[in-house]
């Protein structure tokens, strides 16, 4: 049975004026469960509390109701009172008859009635109350401070001083925040760095403080007292704790970027330290997640940005080494690569792509001119296993080169009398001179690769029986396809592959009369231009679509036309007319473009009755190539439905164990670099095969697709500069096989390389790694996620500068002499880009009149700034003083809306 | 027989609205005596059953008041209250309770004046709607000739 005590307070006259406290007390005494009811003038006073204590003792109360002021006022007081005599404090309730009754009503009768009800409510409530006991929850005795600016630093130091552990997370590579950028502080004009840097150092020295610089909080979970915090430690690509900040790595880095610390007024390297007093005093490398697009799209993953960046500094030897790392054919690729890298180049968003291929050619020629500078990679070890490669084309030679590099004994079997495959047999000399091929093939031989010419292989499996542990088939597509029209097997009709092969081997040295070439690819152009050089009277290309759909390199098409090759677009041969078994004329039909086909190009449709005749002494068919199946007498190697070798696309393994294939023989007629890619893929598979490792594990099908959008800042402030012109010999001088395009001068090459935007930020050229004596650089380092337990979190994330370029009227970014406050601050700072000299960026002169515009963006909701920072007036007052110190005879004008800076009445 | 007076139960959160009602007192803003405040930790604590029970036990109207959106002492309790109310509005209506007799408001600890206005307004609104009996327990109805809450057989027994 409940035994409730009710104590009604008068609160002097505060309650008693409107509520008859005595009457309420009497009323309460009669309520069921109420053991005792009293009223008193000031219940919260000592005698009042004593009254309650005695009543609890005397009446053995099980609950107490105090009818007085708001529980928000005295609940704690009375709880303590009842707890003092052993009553659970949660068995006390307060009826608020002051704030909610006497003070808001004037009618004493109604007020008293309401007070009675409020008391009755509480009496009923307290009957339902349970004893409650506080629980103890362990609290993690550590704090997290987010942000390492001066506020965060001070917070961390203060907490640490109290003896608690502190974790401080700063997203920038150094603590210090914006204060480290300031020259002097307002109003005493103390040196900002002098105040700040001792505190920054304290952060490192204090044993209670753990600093995560260049890190960001990923997530916070848990509750007050027990938070779990996930922190991403962004990779510096070098070991932070061991870096001594010697800065040896900085100078050799070829990549220059806008220096954020100096607000973009000067540059920094891709490996950098934000400022000399940085804490931690460690360098870092800035890099995008994905390499630059030029590298991503390159089938052989050439580190394009790497060698271009090095070339921009004139470091050709180092650049060549970067190329050579993944390419044994720098000179060949510099001349004939289809350079998908240039198509992907972000520079074309500003003007034109970097002329990457011609830069690579410079390196190739540099290599030829300075053979003593180059030390080819020698095999690290020698292995006993022998590997056979069939075909000395780009796929086969790259495969052989890569295997030889790994120490395997490789023998290449080549059916023709020359090495180089289609490089030699398919590409005419005026595009790729024979000495270039010979030189680069020789470098491969120098690695230990044996090449046996005039040695056709008719049964690849036989090689396995002869002791070769693995075989790579790089057999190419040696057969020209037929047109499928009447008379095409007549005398005077040939295909481009056969024609070019004869020309390139010196078997055909002269061409007479009218030549027709059918097709629109690079082979067609090569055949046409070769025929013209060999004395043909007239060369005509017949192509069934229009110029836009032509698969040949547009530069090649343009050159062919310049040299005198005429092209019949939208035409298709239908019949070869012969006389005595010899070709005399070709009948063609006009075409028009219909619906797009599977390749996305519009399908040519014949126009009825549009037949026309072209005189012809030689017909060259250049309409695709096919593989010749003469390497597999036993016919055990499975072919695809396109009659090419069927392989696993990831490993290039054929249906026969130990035999791998790649290049044109698998892909059909493709580019040189694509064949080279297969050479590398197959070499990796063969290495795994020979060491009994899984062929597929950890390998991905190379997508060569760019997924990361370039950062805006790459394009900021870049001035247009046109792409370098590749020098070519005159049209008159092209009646021979002299090389048409010549190499860029070193100066042009450096100028061109400087156009590179450095999309990947760090170019991974490796120069810093060579310079670091402690060998701390690790390009494969990954972000690390650490988890920390903390009890409390201080957020001190600071501010971002408003970008004033949203106000076009101020001309910021349009006129070089319009600066932001922080840019001005950096300029007057002794550690700034001008060493403290105040200059006008446009002409380097000292400005005599400076206008300070305040309140830019203040309370402008349209631009998304509804507030006034309340600081700029103070800040500008300081700037005017700094200006007068630097330029005593100068004049400062301040324009403002109003002065609102608060603080110590400054 | 005394004149009929509406009885209104108000569920107030401890941190904003209850403190706002305290401030109304400290500021001596007057309002009618009809409101009975029940203090809850948060408006998110309000169960729709509380509302039903309030009507069963003799209320003519119910008011729920909490912190302004974004100001909840528990970060999001008032959002829970709002969402709960939006959902249960239909159910309460289906149950047959006159939705006009339930009001919701945001009163902060600094809005003593607003609390007095809300309390006055709600009292007037409910007074206009008249006594509400369909849900009252029989015992309450029988004894409620004047003030059901003030009756020995009333809700608090």
* Run of H or E residues at A306: helix A304-312
Using beta carbons and an 8 Å cutoff, which residues of B are at the interface with A?
A: 14, 18-19, 21-26, 28-31, 33, 36-39, 116, 147, 149-150, 156-157
Residue B143: is its pLDDT beyond 50?
no
Residue A905: is its pLDDT beyond 80?
no
pLDDT tens digits for range A284-326: 999 999 999 999 999 999 999 999 999 999 999 999 999 999 9
Q: Who contacts A595 (Cβ-Cβ below 8 Å, separation ≥6)?
A: A602, A603
pLDDT tens digits for range A156-194: 999 999 999 999 999 999 999 999 999 998 888 889 999
Range A769-784 average pLDDT: 94
Which residues on chain A are in Cβ contact (under 8 Å) with B37?
96, 100
Q: Which of B19, B150, B157 sits opposite A113 (nearest CB)?
A: B150
Rounded to a whole number, what is the distance in Å from the CA of A16 to chain B's nearest CA? 15
**Least CA distance to B25: which residue of chain A?**
A99
Q: Who contacts A338 (Cβ-Cβ below 8 Å, separation ≥6)?
A: A553, A671, A672, A673
Range A111-122 average pLDDT: 96
Q: Is A116 on the interface with B (CB under 8 A)?
A: yes
Cα gap A255→A271, rounded to integer Å: 8
Rounded to a whole number, what is the distance in Å from the CA of A798 to chain B's nearest CA? 23
Residue A851: is its pLDDT beyond 60?
yes
* A531 Cα distance to chain centroid: 48
pLDDT at A47: 94
Residue B146: is its pLDDT beyond 70?
no
Give the phi and the psi of residue A413 in degrees, each rounded to 5. -100, 120
Q: Which of A103, A123, A124 sits opposite B26 (nearest CB)?
A: A103
Which residues on chain A are in Cβ contact (under 8 Å) with B114?
none
pLDDT band, residue B156 (cuts 50/70/90):
very low
Q: Please give the mean pLDDT across all residues of chain A.
A: 93
Q: Is A547 on the interface with B (CB under 8 A)?
A: no
The answer to whether A778 touches A764, Cβ cutoff 8 Å, is no
pLDDT tens digits for range A713-762: 889 888 899 999 999 999 888 888 999 999 999 999 999 999 999 999 99
Q: What are A239's two structure tokens?
A: 């070991």
Rounded to a whole number, what is the distance in Å from the CA of A11 to chain B's nearest CA? 13
Cα gap A523→A520, rounded to integer Å: 8
pLDDT at A188: 85
Cα gap A440→A374, rounded to integer Å: 13
Q: What are A206's two structure tokens?
A: 């204090």
- How many Cβ atoms sit within 10 Å of the Cβ of residue B70? 10
pLDDT at B139: 54
pLDDT at B41: 95
**Least CA distance to B155: which residue of chain A?**
A121
Q: What are A599's two structure tokens?
A: 């390749």
Residue A544: is its pLDDT beyond 80?
yes
Which residues on chain A are in Cβ contact (under 8 Å) with B149?
117
Helical segments of A88-147, H only: 108-128
Does the distance separating the beta carbons of B33 and A110 come in below 8 Å?
A: yes
Helical segments of B27-111, H only: 48-56, 77-95
Q: With CA atoms as reference, report the closest residue to A275 among A261, A257, A264, A263.
A: A261
Give the phi and the psi of residue A675 in degrees, each rounded to 5. -65, -40
pLDDT band, residue A426 (cuts 50/70/90):
very high
Residue B111: is its pLDDT beyond 60?
yes
CA dist A431 → A508, A526, A831, B156 (Å): 18, 9, 54, 104
pLDDT at A427: 95
User: Residue A704: beta bridge partners?
Assistant: none
Q: Is A261 helix (H, G, I), strand (E, B) or coil?
A: coil
pLDDT at B153: 45
The answer to whether A106 touches A131, Cβ cutoff 8 Å, is no
Cα gap B109→B131, rounded to integer Å: 31
Higher pLDDT, A455 or A624: A455
pLDDT tens digits for range B80-109: 999 988 888 888 888 888 899 999 999 999
Higher pLDDT, A452 or A488: A452
Cα gap A343→A551, rounded to integer Å: 15
pLDDT band, residue A601 (cuts 50/70/90):
confident
| A253-262, A410-419, A892-901: range with lowest mean pLDDT | A892-901
Which residues on chain B are in Cβ contact (under 8 Å) with A73?
22
Range A833-837 average pLDDT: 92
Helical segments of A626-718, H only: 664-667, 672-690
- How many alpha carbons lie under 13 Å from residue A693 in its C-beta half-sphere? 12
The answer to whether A870 touches A842, Cβ cutoff 8 Å, is no
pLDDT tens digits for range A261-284: 999 899 999 999 999 999 999 999
Cα gap A738→A740, rounded to integer Å: 6
CA dist A721 → A311, A348, A351, A609, A752 (Å): 17, 11, 7, 51, 9
Residue B147: is its pLDDT beyond 70?
no
The answer to whether A854 touches A895, Cβ cutoff 8 Å, is yes
Q: With CA atoms as reference, report the closest residue to A679 among A304, A341, A423, A309.
A: A423
pLDDT tens digits for range A661-696: 999 999 999 999 999 999 999 999 999 999 999 999
Q: Who contacts A837 (Cβ-Cβ below 8 Å, separation ≥6)?
A: A827, A846, A886
pLDDT at A374: 66
Rounded to a whole number, what is the distance in Å from the CA of B149 to chain A's nearest CA? 7
Q: Is A110 on the interface with B (CB under 8 A)?
A: yes
pLDDT tens digits for range B6-46: 999 999 999 999 999 999 999 999 999 999 999 999 999 99
pLDDT at A300: 96
Q: Is A74 on the interface with B (CB under 8 A)?
A: no
Q: What are A19's two structure tokens?
A: 């509520």
Cα gap A559→A548, rounded to integer Å: 16
Residue B151: is its pLDDT beyond 70?
no
Extended beta strands in A504-545, E state? 514-518, 538-542
pLDDT tens digits for range B43-53: 999 998 899 89
Q: Which of A368-372, A376-380, A879-883 has the highest mean pLDDT?
A: A879-883
Range A142-157 average pLDDT: 97
Residue B1: is its pLDDT beyond 60?
no
Q: Is the pTM of this model over 0.80?
A: no
The answer to whether A431 touches A672, Cβ cutoff 8 Å, is no
Does the distance separating the beta carbons of A117 and B149 come in below 8 Å?
A: yes
pLDDT at A555: 86
Residues 53-72, chain A, touching B (beta carbon < 8 A): 70-72
| A44-48, A89-93, A481-485, B144-148: range with lowest mean pLDDT | B144-148
Q: What are A586's two structure tokens?
A: 């070709």
């Amino acid at each position: 049975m409940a035994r409730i005590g009710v104590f009604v307070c008068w609160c002097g006259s505060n309650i008693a004026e409107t509520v008859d406290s005595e009457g309420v007390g009497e009323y309460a005494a009669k309520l069921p469960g109420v053991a005792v009811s009293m009223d008193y003038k000031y219940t919260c006073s000592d005698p009042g509390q004593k009254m309650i204590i005695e009543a609890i003792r005397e009446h053995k109360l099980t609950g107490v109701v105090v009818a007085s002021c708001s529980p928000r006022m005295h609940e704690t007081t009375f709880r303590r009172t009842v707890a003092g005599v052993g009553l659970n404090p949660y068995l006390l309730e307060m009826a608020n008859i002051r704030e909610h009754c006497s003070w808001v009503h004037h009618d004493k009768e109604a007020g008293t009635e309401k007070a009675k009800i409020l008391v009755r409510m509480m009496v009923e409530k307290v009957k339902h109350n349970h004893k409650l006991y506080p629980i103890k929850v362990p609290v993690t005795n550590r704090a997290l401070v987010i942000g390492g600016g001066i506020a965060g630093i001070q917070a961390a130091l203060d907490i640490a001083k109290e003896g608690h552990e502190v974790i401080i997370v700063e997203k920038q590579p150094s603590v210090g925040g914006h204060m480290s950028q300031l020259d002097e502080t307002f109003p005493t004009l103390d040196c900002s760095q002098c105040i700040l840097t001792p505190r920054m150092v304290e952060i490192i020295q204090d044993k209670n403080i753990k600093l995560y610089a260049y890190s960001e909080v990923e997530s916070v979970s848990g509750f007050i007292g027990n938070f779990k915090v996930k922190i991403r430690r962004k990779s510096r690509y070098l070991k932070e704790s061991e870096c001594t900040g010697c800065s040896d790595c900085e100078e050799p880095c070829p990549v220059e970027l806008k220096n954020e610390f100096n607000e973009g007024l000067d540059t920094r390297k891709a490996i950098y330290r934000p400022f000399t007093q940085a804490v931690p005093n460690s360098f870092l490398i800035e890099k995008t997640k994905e390499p630059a697009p030029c590298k991503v799209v390159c089938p052989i993953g050439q580190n394009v940005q790497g060698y271009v960046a090095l070339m921009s500094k004139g470091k050709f030897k180092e650049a060549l080494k970067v190329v050579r790392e993944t390419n044994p054919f720098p000179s060949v690729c510099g001349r004939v690569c289809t350079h998908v890298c240039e198509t992907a180049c972000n520079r074309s968003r500003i003007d034109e792509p970097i002329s990457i291929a011609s830069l690579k050619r410079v390196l190739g020629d540099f290599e030829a001119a300075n053979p003593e500078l180059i030390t080819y990679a020698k095999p690290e070890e020698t292995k006993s296993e022998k590997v056979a490669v069939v075909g000395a084309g780009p796929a086969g030679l790259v495969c052989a080169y890569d295997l030889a590099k790994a120490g395997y004994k490789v023998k290449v079997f080549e059916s023709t009398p020359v090495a180089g495959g289609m490089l030699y047999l398919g590409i005419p000399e005026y595009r790729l001179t024979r000495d270039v091929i010979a030189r680069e093939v020789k470098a491969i031989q120098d690695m230990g690769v044996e090449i046996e010419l005039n040695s056709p292989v008719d049964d690849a499996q036989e090689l396995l029986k002869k002791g070769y542990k693995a075989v790579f088939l790089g057999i190419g597509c040696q057969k020209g396809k037929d047109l499928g029209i009447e008379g095409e097997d007549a005398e005077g009709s040939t295909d481009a592959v056969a024609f070019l092969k004869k020309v390139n081997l010196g078997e055909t040295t002269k061409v007479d009369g009218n030549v027709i070439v059918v097709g629109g690819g690079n082979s067609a152009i090569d055949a046409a231009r070769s025929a013209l050089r060999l004395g043909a009277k007239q060369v005509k290309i017949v192509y069934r679509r229009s110029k836009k759909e032509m698969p040949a390199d547009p530069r090649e098409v343009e050159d062919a036309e310049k040299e005198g090759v005429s092209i019949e677009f939208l035409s298709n041969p239908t019949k070869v007319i012969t006389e005595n078994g010899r070709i005399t004329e070709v009948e063609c039909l006009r075409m028009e473009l219909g619906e797009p086909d599977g390749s996305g190009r519009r399908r040519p449709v014949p126009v009825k009755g549009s037949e026309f005749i072209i005189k012809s002494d030689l017909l060259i068919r250049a309409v695709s190539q096919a593989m010749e199946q003469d390497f597999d007498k036993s016919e055990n190697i499975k072919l695809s439905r396109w009659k090419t070798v069927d392989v696993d696309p990831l490993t290039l393994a054929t249906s026969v164990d130990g035999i791998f294939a790649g290049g044109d023989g698998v892909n059909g007629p493709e580019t040189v670099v694509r064949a080279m890619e297969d050479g590398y893929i197959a070499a990796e598979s063969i290495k795994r095969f020979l060491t009994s490792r899984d062929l597929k594990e950890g390998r991905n099908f190379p997508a060569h697709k760019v997924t990361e959008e370039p950062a805006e800042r790459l394009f900021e402030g870049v001035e247009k500069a046109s792409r370098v012109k590749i020098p070519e010999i005159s049209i008159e001088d092209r009646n021979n096989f002299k090389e048409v395009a010549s190499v860029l001068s070193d100066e042009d090459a450096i100028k061109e390389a400087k156009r590179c935007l450095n999309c990947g930020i760090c170019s991974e050229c490796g120069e810093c790694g060579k310079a670091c004596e402690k060998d701390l650089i690790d390009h494969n380092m990954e972000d690390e996620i650490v988890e920390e337990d903390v009890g409390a979190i201080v957020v001190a994330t600071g501010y971002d500068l408003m970008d004033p370029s949203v106000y076009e009227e101020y001309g910021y970014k349009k006129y070089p002499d319009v600066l932001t406050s922080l840019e001005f601050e950096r300029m007057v700072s002794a550690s700034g880009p001008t060493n403290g000299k105040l200059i006008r960026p446009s002409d380097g002169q000292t400005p005599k009149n400076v206008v300070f515009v305040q309140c830019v963006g203040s309370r402008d909701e349209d631009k998304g700034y509804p507030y006034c920072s309340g600081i700029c007036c103070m800040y500008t007052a300081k700037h005017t003083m700094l200006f007068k110190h630097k330029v005593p005879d100068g004049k400062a004008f301040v324009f403002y809306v109003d002065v609102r800076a608060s603080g110590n009445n400054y | 027989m005394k004149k009929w007076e509406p009885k209104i139960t108000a569920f107030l959160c401890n941190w904003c609205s209850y403190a706002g009602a305290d401030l109304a007192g400290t500021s001596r803003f007057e309002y009618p005596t009809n409101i009975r405040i029940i203090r809850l930790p948060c408006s998110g604590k309000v169960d729709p059953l509380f509302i039903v029970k309030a009507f069963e036990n003799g209320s003519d109207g119910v008011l729920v008041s909490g912190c302004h959106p974004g100001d909840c002492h528990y970060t999001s309790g008032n959002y829970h209250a709002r969402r709960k109310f939006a959902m249960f509005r239909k159910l309460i209506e289906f149950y047959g309770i006159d939705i006009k007799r339930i009001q919701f408001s945001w009163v902060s600890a600094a809005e003593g004046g607003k609390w007095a206005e809300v309390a006055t307004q709600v009292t007037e609104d409910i007074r206009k709607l008249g006594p509400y009996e369909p849900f009252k327990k029989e015992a309450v109805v029988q004894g409620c000739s004047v003030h059901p809450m003030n009756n020995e057989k009333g809700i608090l027994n």
